[in-house]
DNA sequence: AATGCTATGTGCGCTAGCGCGCAGACCCCG
DNA sequence: CGGGGTCTGCGCGCTAGCGCACATAGCATT
């Protein structure tokens, strides 16, 4: 059983009324997620969900050349396993741990029970689904229209948010995969950002030096995502 | 009140048990949608949903330059108004009628009531939400990786599916907007498809001459979408 | 028949990102 | 201390799609 402290660290759960949250927590187990751990493969049935607390999870879709284009990044603001909430077990997405840390795991059966019992949970999760849909649409626009450097800046900000620290670890190789570009492209864009003193990095260790500068360098999608998040969550 | 015939023409409703469907139909009104009619603007509260029967609806998101990048196309296989199902009224998407025809309209209040009452409706709608998420992710990949000609082929197939006819009307200008490219790009791609006798068109009237050829010319995303649809709907 | 609008077609220079191949830099481990 | 793996940087030719500007073609209205 998870501690209350653990629950407060997932904002989706933290927003629930105390009684509901306590009950839900009793059904959760705290687990440690390790970097690059695969939590979910495409079309493989899953029967549990995760609420990240200090970890973060990258959602990808397979492309023609069996690469992995990123379609979502989940931190303590959300959850992994929307399919189960939508009463399905299958999903085309792959989920890989991108930031090691802990998460709360909940099995399908208690989840379904709680979704029926707790109107607050159902509402919070439904709104999160809606947020994810907005993010997906924004991701499509961003990948299609925006320059790599802006996309990289945005992606780094997203990583920073989920890491709850201004330093984290992702190699350019990995970033390239997730952004759907060549590694050299990331190298150039990252060099540019480093030259402008917005970030510093070496062998995958990335430090955000100037967060607001990075926001200027990023495309509007970062802000758009945050605004959608607030608008949908707080309506 | 809508006829039973009308209901059978929306596949989402058609899949419901007779009793549920009849009850839901009693709360629906058949409406005629006209080309280019705006059903929903970004962040404007909505309080009704639509089940297209013979019409089709294009979902777009605003981009930086106030263009409208398409993130979804809804025909009689789905519904417009997922936000309401997710207990929200706001959404960043714009909805415009792209194929004139009829649809069933349902207000928020009876919808909410039926979602509680009919487990079948809730399930069908949840699965549809899940399908839409897969489509959004696929749209991101497609827009980012695939050549315009393939994307156009795919888009035409999608239009044809929703039109339930191998002829329909969309100008190259409009297609360009939705695909997020220049009109001249569409002109070139369309010319190429026409030269290969896959389609024929003139002043917005498009005829699909060789559907299977068009599928070969399209990227895998078309098939991928269909497979996701089947897999999620029928699990 | 003349006018005008909408839809489609063409040319030209430009750039972001691609594929490929290679080079240097850093680090861990034997 | 040396060797192999990992991470980062660079050059070169190529192409899809861009922005801009202009040219034709079909249809409608008067």
Cα–Cα distance measured from residue A23 to residue B42, given in angstroms and rounded to the nearest whole number: 37
The distance of A137 to chain B (nearest Cα, Å) reads 6
For the record, the structure tokens of B167 come out as: 């002829």
CB contact under 8 A, A144 and B141: no
CA–CA distance, A65 with A80 (Å, rounded to integer): 25
pLDDT for B103 equals 97
B130 close to A86: Cβ distance less than 8 angstroms = yes
Q: Give the torsion sign (CA, B127, B130, B132, B138).
A: negative
Mean pLDDT of chain A: 95
Q: In chain B, which among 35-64 make CB contacts under 8 A with chain A?
A: 43, 61, 63-64
d(CA A146, CA B65): 12
Q: At what angle do helices B18-26 and B108-117 cross, to 10 degrees?
A: 160
Each residue of A33-78: pLDDT tens digit? Answer: 999 999 999 999 999 999 999 999 999 999 998 899 999 999 999 9
Pairing verdict, β A167-169 and A94-99: unpaired
Look at the block and give the residue holding tokens 């099995």.
A107
Strand order in the sheet with B56-62: B38-40, B94-99, B56-62, B68-74
Residues A162 and B51: their CA atoms lie apart, in Å, by 38
Number of H helices, E strands in chain A: 11, 10
Q: Is the CB of B185 under 7 A from strand D?
A: yes
Structure confidence by residue, pLDDT tens digits, B62-120: 999 889 999 999 999 999 999 999 999 999 999 999 999 999 999 999 999 999 999 99
Q: Residue B131's closest chain A neighbor by CA?
A: A91
**Model confidence over B121-173: pLDDT tens digits?**
999 999 999 999 999 999 999 999 999 999 999 999 999 999 999 999 999 99
Q: What average pLDDT does the segment A205-227 reach?
A: 97
B115 touches chain A (CB under 8 A): no
Quote the pLDDT of residue A4: 46
Of B73, B72, B70, B27, the closest CA to residue B49 belongs to B27
Q: Is any Cβ of chain B less than 8 angstroms from the Cβ of A130?
A: yes
- What is the average pLDDT value for chain B, to the nearest integer? 95
From the CA of B108, how many Å to the nearest CA of chain A?
A: 16
> What is the per-residue pLDDT for A235?
80
Q: In what order do the strands lie in the sheet with A205-208?
A: A167-169, A205-208, A199-202
């Amino acid at each position: 059983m998870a501690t209350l402290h653990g629950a407060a660290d997932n904002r989706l759960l933290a927003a629930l009324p105390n009684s509901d949250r306590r009950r839900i927590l009793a059904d959760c187990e705290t687990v440690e997620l390790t970097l690059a751990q695969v939590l979910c493969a495409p079309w493989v049935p899953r029967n549990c969900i995760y609420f990240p607390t200090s970890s973060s999870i990258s959602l990808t879709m397979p492309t023609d050349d069996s690469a992995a284009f990123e379609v979502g990044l989940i931190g303590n603001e959300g959850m992994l396993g929307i399919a189960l909430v939508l009463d399905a077990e299958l999903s085309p997405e792959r989920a890989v741990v991108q930031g090691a840390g802990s998460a709360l795991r909940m099995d399908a059966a208690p989840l379904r029970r709680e979704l029926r019992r707790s109107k607050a949970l159902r509402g919070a999760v439904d709104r999160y689904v809606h947020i994810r849909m907005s993010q997906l649409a924004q991701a499509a626009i961003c990948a299609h229209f925006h320059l790599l450097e802006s996309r990289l800046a945005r992606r780094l900000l997203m990583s920073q948010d989920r890491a709850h620290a201004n330093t984290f670890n992702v190699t350019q190789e990995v970033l390239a995969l997730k952004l759907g570009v060549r590694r050299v492209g990331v190298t150039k864009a990252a060099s540019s950002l480093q030259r402008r003193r917005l970030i510093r990095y070496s062998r995958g260790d990335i430090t955000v030096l100037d967060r607001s500068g990075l926001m200027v360098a990023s495309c509007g999608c970062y802000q758009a995502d945050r605004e959608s998040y607030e608008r949908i969550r707080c309506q």
